[in-house]
Amino acid sequence: MKRKGKTTSAFTKIRTGLEDAIAFHAGDRQLTVRDVELKPPAPMGAKEVLAVRRRMRVSQAAFARILNVSPRTVQAWETNARRPSDAALKLLAVAKAHPEVLLG
């Protein structure tokens, strides 16, 4: 099927992708990302942060060390005195979904 002079068939897209993968594997091509859509991290309140830490069965001090933040920061999150930054939310999401990654 053609639209405005461009072939848009699924077969053509798959073939192009496979050709790129073969060239990359052979060292003849470097793959790049042109468009990346990322959802912003989901907000996490005090109760959720506390639940993540308790699920990992660690103290505030240990949790802080695991996340590379200060114990006061963890305490502030757990009392709603402060909200985790977007970077911290990404790490907290990893801790929530796969705590073994951070403990291992």
pLDDT for res 101: 93
- Residue range 5-23, pLDDT digits in tens: 555 688 888 888 888 889 8
pLDDT for res 11: 87
- Residue range 40-61, pLDDT digits in tens: 899 999 999 999 999 999 999 9
DSSP-assigned states of every residue in the chain: -EETTEE--HHHHHHHHHHHHHHHHTTS----------PPPPP--HHHHHHHHHHHT--HHHHHHHHTS-HHHHHHHHTTSSPPPHHHHHHHHHHHH-HHHHH-
Provide the percentage of residues in the chain whose pLDDT is more than 90.
61
Q: Spell out the domains of the chain, with CATH numbers in brackets.
A: 1-37 (no CATH), 46-103 (1.10.260)
The pTM assigned to this predicted structure is 0.65
Q: Which residue has the tokens 């042109």?
A: 34
